[in-house]
């Protein structure tokens, strides 16, 4: 016998007999039964009920049977005192006779009182030496079930002891060493939830809790993080970059975004949402190379049909505030179970009060559902992960349990889902084809637009209105404030509304999401450049075999090296000694050495195809050194203070300076470096800055500059600012655009490296280094960072991981360069040395 808040349920030991449910609202009498002297039984409880619900008769999952006849039942407790049971049952019975709001308030008060008296039983602990770190009332959340109990965290195990006995285990136990993820969740539009995911060794794969309020939830999270957990390190920026680079699939990335946006398979009100991606469910063969079979991912489902959209817009214009386009959501408990009723029929019975939906309204045909979401004025649902999950093999399409869902209007029995012809009546093949479509090039190149609608900047506000992406107000966080609602009845009513209407995911992106990129694999490992070409497994400091060459490498300059660049088979370096050094990369032999200025040189550049080396000096001048004749001359008096950086693109030279400016100069590529530039004629424009310019990079008529704590992106066609990034708390030391001008990388003295999508300004990757960076070189997916303590850090930005760390110099690394093929790395240091490294294929 189970006492529930609104009913009494009797579960017989004989599983062939039905479970009997007695709604307290239908019970006119609940009294103590006193047996006669001849009866050989003890006192019991007599319940008279006008409507009896029978469930799972014969242990068969089927719609409940509702018997509307008055019956009397006598229950005799085996172990508990009759008076104790009757006292609680009497309170619940009185509550059932009250108006709905008063009933909800009284039930909530009864539950709160019982929970407040409930104490965790320490006998359930694995070890009596365990120390309790955190203890609080909590709910264990699973689909359509919120079960209250007590959560207790010790220094080795997480416990959950429910207040009732409906769980499969009396006390749930999770070893802390098995926890891999601790994820804050939004539950019923309130920040109360917490989901814990465990490793494969754990008997509990995952568990979802909700706490009384956000402060207690956060305290629980802090208590968990205070323990020595072995958590997976999955940062949003890393996952976005991995998806852009094709390291993770579209399915994995959408799954990740759903999780990040508080959507979980444990919560049907916030179930993971996936897009419809194809429109052809009638052909015998599915041609994924045909772009016409794909859905327009720039539009929400409700805007795919222009005729329907116009009707919705007309209704919107006539509507009183608050206005909305779509009265139903793309994901809600009823919509999720519409798809999954064959896999989880018991949940549908729970949701619909013991009944399945009408057979003609069920998920009978993929083609019919697609047609309906494209034409019906109240159907805008997207899909669920099961449509693309290869591991589940489309089991949700098959009536594996032989459930009797009824017959349709034409007499056909509801069985398996009718699949498109191209699926060949195979759920496994159907899901495989759907997944293939999801991972196709067409979807990959447009998926960022759907992300903008569901998780991004088109989710709310003016952009949502422009994109025709406006839903019923109750779907949005902040519409109602359940935290401040003290009336239990009103709060319950609002929670029911939130559950029924569905919820907009947490907004993850405030700017357009960058598209996916098509990249080829890159080598990964950084090792020394050996004269004999041999590789060693261990990465260690470069050392030349010839003593003469080793001396020249270790003391290449008289002062520290300030900048380096590759050109063909040569490496060029400049230093604070005012000298230019030219090395042959084979053997790192010094071929030229020239004093260019009496003051330090800060930067150098060899334009493609040129025979001259350009270098900038602290004397405010730009110099040219002609390799062919060994002649140096002053190219240009470019600034009023020291030149710090230098960049070139066809027809244009850019210089940055301590005078807080970047200046642009028109050049003739054929004669660049062969004769002085005439300043007034060559001068194009000055890009003003508020602080000294530390670094610049030019690509595809875009220039990015780093100055103090700011990074600025400029348009070289209009000489205007495209983006401002206040990206670092310390000084920016290096910036660079990729070879396509689509991404920008920055690093600063705050130990951060940041990667931005240029078109949207979105930060797609951020990493805090253990060491302070001084300079970096980036080419393709290879990134090499020099640090203040003499280290070289090699990163694979395709896999988004550090692949090597070497001690390169005895002092700070002051210059780093990558050659055009990104297989050679040069480093210069405060120790005046120059070293050469190379990447080797793993």
- Looking at the domain assignment, is residue 787 inside a domain? no
SS3 for 303-328, per residue?
A: HCCHHHHHHHHHHHHHCCCCCCCECC
**Closest to 703 measured CA to CA, from 664, 753, 729:** 664
Provide the 3-class DSSP secondary structure of residue 577: coil
Counting residues of the chain whose pLDDT is more than 70, the rounded percentage is: 92
The percentage of the chain sitting over the pLDDT mark of 90, rounded to a whole number, equals 67
- Domain of 597 in residue numbering reads as 559-688
- Separation of alpha carbons 786 and 827, rounded Å: 8
Whether residue 370 is found in the same domain as residue 274: yes
Q: Do 298 and 214 belong together in one domain?
A: no
Residue at which a domain ends, from 185, 207, 233: 233
Asked whether the predicted pLDDT for residue 484 surpasses 90, the reply is no
Angle at 826 between CA 823 and CA 831, to 5 degrees: 160
Question: Is 755 domain-assigned?
Answer: no
Q: Are residues 570 and 462 in the same domain?
A: no
Does 679 fall in a domain?
A: yes
The CATH number given to whatever domain includes residue 625 is 2.130.10.10
Q: How many structural domains does the chain have?
A: 4
Band of pLDDT at residue 375, cut at 50, 70 and 90: very high
Q: What is the mean pLDDT of residues 457-477?
A: 93
Are 498 and 491 in contact, with CB atoms under 8 Å apart? no
- Which residues is 614 bridged to in the sheet? 605, 624
Q: How far apart are CA 222 and CA 747, in angstroms?
A: 30
Say if residue 344 is in the same domain as residue 447.
Answer: yes
Residues 493 and 459 in one domain: yes
CA distances from 142 to 139, 540, 643, 665, 717 (A): 10, 53, 63, 65, 57
Neighbours of 266 (CB within 10 A): 20
* CATH of residue 222: 2.30.29.30
- DSSP structure string for 768-807: E-SS-EEEEEEETTEEEEEETTSEEEEEETTTTEEEEEEE
Asked if 622 and 648 count as a contact pair (C-beta separation under 8 A), the reply is: no
User: How far is 435 from 430, CA to CA, in rounded Å?
Assistant: 9
Asked, for residue 735, whether it belongs to a domain, the answer is no
Comparing CA positions, the residue from 649, 658, 648, 585 lying closest to residue 837 is 585
Between 396 and 124, the higher pLDDT residue: 396
Does 148 map to a domain? Answer: yes
C-alpha span between 816 and 828 (Å, rounded): 6
Residues 129 and 91 in one domain: no
SS3 of residue 832 by DSSP:
coil
pLDDT for residue 604: 96
Cis amide bond preceding 66, omega within 30: no
Q: Is the four-CA dihedral 263, 265, 267, 270 of positive or negative sign?
A: positive
Q: What is the rounded distance in angstroms from the CA atom of residue 145 to the CA atom of residue 166? A: 11
In a shared domain, residues 478 and 408 = yes
Q: Does some domain include residue 627?
A: yes
442 and 330 together in one domain: yes
Q: In the predicted model, is pLDDT for residue 551 greater than 60?
A: no
Cβ–Cβ under 8 Å, residues 622 and 616? yes
Q: How far is CA 689 from CA 637, 665, 676, in A?
A: 19, 17, 27
In a domain, 339, yes or no: yes
Most confident of 184-193, 530-539, 633-642, 719-728: 633-642
Domain boundary among 167, 202, 233: 233
- Say how far apart CA 272 and CA 259 lie, in whole Å: 8
Q: What's the token pair of residue 318?
A: 């006539």
> What 3-state DSSP class applies to 225?
helix
Instruction: Assess whether 189 and 302 both reside in one domain.
Output: no
212 is a domain residue: yes
Query: 543-569 as b/e, with b when 16 or more CB fall inside 10 Å?
Result: ebeeeebeebbbebbeebbbbbbbbee
Of 130, 140, 143, residue with least CA distance to 161: 140
**How many C-beta neighbours within 10 Å does residue 334 have?**
18
pTM: 0.85
Name which residue leads in pLDDT, 80 or 380: 380
Per-chain mean pLDDT for the chain: 89
> Do 147 and 18 share a structural domain?
no
pLDDT for 801 equals 87
Q: Are residues 386 and 446 in the same domain?
A: yes
- Of 515-524, 564-573, 599-608, 642-651, the range with the lowest mean pLDDT is 515-524
The Cα 445–Cα 245 span in angstroms is: 12
Same domain, 335 and 469: yes
């Amino acid at each position: 016998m189970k006492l529930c808040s609104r009913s009494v349920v009797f579960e017989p030991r004989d599983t062939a007999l039905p479970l009997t449910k007695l709604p307290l609202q239908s019970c006119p009498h609940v009294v103590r039964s006193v047996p006669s002297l001849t009866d050989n039984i003890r006192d019991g409880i007599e319940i008279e009920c006008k409507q009896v619900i029978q469930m799972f008769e014969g242990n068969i999952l089927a719609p409940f049977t509702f018997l509307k006849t008055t019956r009397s039942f006598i229950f005799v407790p085996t172990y508990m005192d009759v008076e104790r049971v009757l006292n609680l049952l009497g309170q619940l019975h009185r509550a059932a006779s009250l108006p709905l709001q008063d009933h909800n308030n009284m039930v909530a008060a009864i539950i709160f009182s019982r929970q407040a008296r409930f104490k965790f039983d320490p006998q359930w602990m694995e070890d009596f030496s365990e120390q309790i770190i955190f203890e609080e009332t909590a709910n264990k959340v699973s689909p359509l079930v919120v079960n209250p109990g007590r959560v207790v965290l010790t220094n080795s195990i997480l416990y959950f002891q429910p207040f009732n006995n409906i769980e499969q285990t009396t006390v749930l136990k999770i070893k802390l060493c098995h926890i891999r993820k601790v994820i804050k969740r939004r539950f019923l539009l309130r920040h109360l939830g917490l989901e814990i995911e465990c490793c494969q060794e754990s008997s509990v794969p995952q568990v979802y809790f909700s706490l009384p309020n956000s402060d207690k939830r956060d305290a629980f999270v802090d208590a968990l993080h205070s323990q020595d957990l072995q958590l997976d390190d999955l940062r949003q920026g890393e996952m976005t970059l991995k998806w852009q680079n094709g390291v993770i699939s579209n399915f994995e990335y959408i799954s990740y975004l759903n999780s990040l946006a508080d959507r979980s398979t444990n919560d049907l009100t916030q179930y993971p949402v996936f897009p419809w991606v194809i429109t052809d469910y009638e052909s015998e063969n599915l041609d994924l190379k045909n772009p016409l079979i794909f859905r327009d991912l720039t539009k929400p489902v409700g805007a795919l049909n222009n005729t329907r959209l116009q009707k919705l817009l007309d209704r919107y214009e006539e509507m009183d505030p608050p206005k909305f386009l779509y009265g139903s959501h793309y994901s809600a408990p009823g919509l999720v179970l519409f798809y999954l009723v064959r896999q989880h029929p018991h949940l549908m019975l729970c949701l619909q009060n013991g009944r399945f939906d009408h057979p003609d309204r069920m998920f009978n045909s993929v083609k019919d559902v697609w047609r309906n979401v494209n034409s019906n004025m109240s159907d805008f649902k997207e899909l669920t992960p099961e449509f693309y999950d290869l591991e589940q093999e489309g089991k949700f399409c098959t009536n594996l349990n032989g459930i009797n869902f009824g017959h349709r209007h034409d007499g056909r029995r509801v069985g398996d889902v009718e699949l498109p012809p191209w699926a060949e009546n195979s759920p496994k093949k159907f899901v495989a084809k759907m997944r293939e479509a999801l991972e196709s090039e067409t979807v990959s190149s447009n998926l960022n637009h759907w992300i903008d609608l569901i998780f991004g900047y088109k989710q709310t506000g003016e952009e949502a209105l422009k994109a025709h992406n406006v839903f019923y107000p109750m779907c949005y966080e902040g519409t109602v404030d359940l935290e401040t609602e003290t009336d239990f009845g009103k709060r319950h009513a609002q929670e029911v509304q939130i559950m029924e209407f569905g919820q907009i995911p947490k907004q993850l992106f405030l700017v357009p999401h960058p598209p996916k990129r098509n990249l080829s694999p890159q080598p990964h490992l950084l090792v020394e450049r050996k004269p004999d070409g041999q590789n060693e497994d261990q990465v260690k400091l470069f050392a030349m075999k010839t003593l003469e060459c080793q001396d020249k490498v270790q003391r290449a300059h008289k002062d520290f090296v300030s900048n380096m660049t590759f050109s063909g088979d040569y490496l060029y370096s400049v230093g604070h000694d005012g000298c230019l050094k030219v090395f042959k990369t084979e053997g790192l032999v010094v071929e030229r050495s020239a004093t260019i200025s009496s003051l330090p040189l800060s930067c150098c550049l060899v334009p493609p195809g040129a025979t001259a080396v350009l270098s900038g000096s602290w004397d405010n001048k730009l110099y040219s050194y002609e390799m062919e004749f060994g002649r140096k001359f002053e190219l240009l008096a470019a600034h009023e203070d020291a030149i710090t950086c230098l960049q070139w693109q066809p027809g244009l030279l850019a210089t940055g300076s301590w005078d807080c400016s970047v200046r642009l100069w028109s050049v003739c590529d054929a004669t660049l470096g062969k004769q002085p530039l005439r300043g007034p004629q060559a001068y194009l424009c000055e890009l003003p800055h508020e602080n000294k310019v530390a670094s610049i990079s030019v690509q595809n008529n875009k220039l990015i500059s780093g100055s103090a704590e700011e990074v600025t992106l400029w348009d070289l066609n209009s000489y205007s600012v495209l983006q401002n990034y206040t990206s670092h708390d310390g000084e920016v030391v290096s910036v660079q655009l990729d070879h396509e001008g689509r991404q920008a990388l920055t690093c600063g003295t705050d130990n951060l490296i940041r990667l931005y999508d240029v078109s949207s300004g979105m930060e797609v990757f951020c990493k805090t280094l253990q060491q302070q960076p001084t300079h970096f070189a980036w080419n393709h997916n290879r990134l090499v960072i020099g640090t203040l303590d003499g280290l070289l850090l090699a990163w694979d930005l395709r896999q988004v991981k550090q692949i090597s760390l070497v001690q390169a110099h005895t002092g700070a690394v002051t210059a780093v360069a990558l050659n055009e093929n990104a297989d050679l790395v040069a480093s210069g240091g405060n120790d005046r040395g120059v070293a050469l490294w190379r990447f080797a294929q793993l």
